[in-house]
Structure 1
Amino acid sequence: MSFDSLGLSKPLLDAVAAQGYDTPSPIQAKAIPVILEGKDIMAAAQTGTGKTAGFTLPLLELLSKGPKVRANQVRALVLTPTRELAAQVGESVSTYGKNMDLSSTVVFGGVKINPQMQKLRRGADVLVATPGRLLDLYQQNAFRFQQLEVIIFDEADRMLDMGFIHDIRKILALLPKQRQTLMFSATFSEEIRTLAKSLVKDPVEVSVTPPNATAKTVKQWIVPVDKSKKSGLLTQLIKDNDWQQVLVFSRTKHGANRLAKHLEQRKISAAAIHGNKSQGARTRALAEFKSGDVRVLVATDIAARGLDIDQLPQVVNFDLPNVAEDYVHRIGRTGRAGSTGQAVSLVCADEVGDLIGIERLTGQLLERKEVAGFEPSTQLPVTRDTRPLKAKKPKKPKSPRSEHKDGQRSSENARGNKPVGKNRRHTGGGTNKTSRRFSKPKAANSGNK
């Protein structure tokens, strides 16, 4: 199959060819025709398989055939959970739409709002936004939605997480009822799938991989280690293996700062990226990491959404995520677009419940490799049962959580910096007797102080 057979016009085909692509990825081949037919869609595919182009190309095609955008109006809205992902999607819209007479704007917090207001008052065919800043701009009459035709949720699982759902419902209440809704994500837990279906009309479900599957191009293993020795172990792994570009995941913002400082003190260039950093600092850290000036980028989950780094060879889970689905997103930063990568997790006894949840979610046992000098004082038990957990019914939304300074909901606080409910603490959606047996109540929250 070629892009020519998908129903795209010449301006788009020329833009695709200019990027060096001639064959659509599986998610693109399945999603593009459905979107061009005007149907709602829920599409799941692993990170790095071309999801962004999978909705950007047909969106531009549809908009090119419609009326011109009016002042203060938006024809298509793309919602993303993070600034970095918003910028990435905006770049994709500009790249593929360069031969078309369509306008696009990207808005997010952490930067001055006035320039964004001025751009929006001219109208935008495509608006890419984070929820908090979008609502701020709407409340200041920067734009309206009378002309809106399409809304897209990118990283839909995080967008529909309880840290965002209140803003999402506010936004949906502002939109015309006659619209097309597209949802794209690497993972759809059963809880999120149920919630998502309440927001779309008769969606076509498209999936090119088993639910919550990890890419075969990523080699995964874990290193059992005591919590107090993790920093030293990471330092040794980087030096012994001569890792030159490593993306490290920390559960908390303070932990990310502390680890970056630890590495710098040991002559390993490092930078932290998380929700408390200014947009300028986040942009600079990512640019230096991509260029090789920074060897290690330490990130929290919310900041890492949208980090598109070509040929990233190594991902390290310094802390396992509270929510098992986030493991799939994390290691999806490597092994992208057919390249290979490695993902290693440093696991201490306190994280056994999280490990069991991840292994049951992905349906695979992760190979254990101890490192000499860092053998753990407490051995990690082997997961006996990797059958997927039964889905729980979705909970009713709780009261809104606190916001970042930029007006964006803090899913990071919801997942990492504050203790979470024990049901999600261990399995990302369910509990099991094994996880409770190996996780002590006090230890479960020790990483959240």
Structure 2
Amino acid sequence: MARKIFGTDGVRGQANRYPMTAEMALRLGAAAGRYFRRDKAGVHRVVIGKDTRLSGYMLENALTAGFTSTGMNVLLLGPVPTPAVGFLTRSMRADVGVMISASHNPHQDNGIKFFGPDGFKLSDEAEAEIEAILEGEIEPAQPQNIGRARRIDDARGRYQEYAKTTFPGGLRLDGLKVVLDCANGAAYRAAPEVLWELGAEVVPVGVSPDGFNINERCGSTHTQTAAEAVVAHGADVGICLDGDADRVMILDETGRVADGDQLMALLAARWADEGRLNGGTLVATVMSNLGLERFLTGRGLRLERTAVGDRYVVEAMRRGGWNLGGEQSGHIVMTDYATTGDGLIAGLQFLAEMARSGRRASGLVNSFETVPQLLKNVRYAAGAAPLEAPPVRSAIAAGEARLGDRGRLLIRKSGTEPLIRVMAECEDEALLGRVVDEIVAAVEFAAG
């Protein structure tokens, strides 16, 4: 069953424009409520968290109305990271969890992500079933069975206490100065408090949300602000989260950025040495650098690649029984600790390695030499299909032939924005640039 409004990470779009309207959020809540209730008797509950976007108020209220109309009791968590929703869905024995966030997107966008009772994001099949309910008449609850709503005042504190349990008990962060960029997003209070309680000296960045400044010149997709703070304050390390805190980027003491591939390499090697890396396998997407694959192979470990999207990483991890995976973009999934990417907990694992080894950040974030990688995005109009144009197909085929076995080429549509992503890797950087530019030019022409 095909999905129409769900993308690779829930439903996403510009706030107050289809599909991110109050009306659609109400119907989505009602459809999800009906899906999770079905014919099951007893009390049913949903937890709803959000980031700091202004439109979160509108969508939170609409979702609440939709869920309660089908008899679901709603527990409102307020601003919390996406992984906190996964954790609290399980902890509070909820039937479903919802996170209102557009992650790293600008404030005018928003999104709705669903979690099942096990705390994991819903499968494509479950989302398709919810869409099928959405398209029909949604049966409301009888008047006496309408749900209630209440706020959970200590939701953030519950998550913070859990996050600290993932940090080794015998270690502290005393003496470490950490620049922590929270992207004016969901972790703006939780993350600084956790690091401070573990002993770090925290230099906060992006902790003054106003409903409009989420991800604005800060966070994991704009690390320059944190890098400047690392240098200015003489910090030991920088940690950059995104708007819903399920991604992380690490900065060394010089302000240089280490992406998710380098962090996964560090953790995979460490866990393998400790006998903790299940199946000797790391799960990552097709976007992860070829250098990461070579690094793992050289240590007798294996890289399992998936489609782009942390949900697909998690699905592969669950199928294979593997416990470490993630994305180059900074989603680090550790199923020993969390059901989805968790930027704070991933950052804590890096800080634990600094505290344990006594090494500087720069000595920990260069596990492998990256193969030159070039990624360019081409925006296209709604309804266009530039990848189906014969000139684009010809350009892609020519690029693959020119790269041969010296590199690789990946062309894909974004699951969250109207973009065609053109990515290639090759140690011959001149050839790399020519191949990508020729394909981009063909896509741009086809996209008008």
What TM-score comes out, normalization by structure 1 length? Answer: 0.30
- Structure with the higher strand share, 1 or 2: 2
Which structure carries more relative contact order (alpha carbon 8 Å, separation 6+)?
A: 1
The alignment's TM-score, normalised by the length of structure 2, stands at 0.30
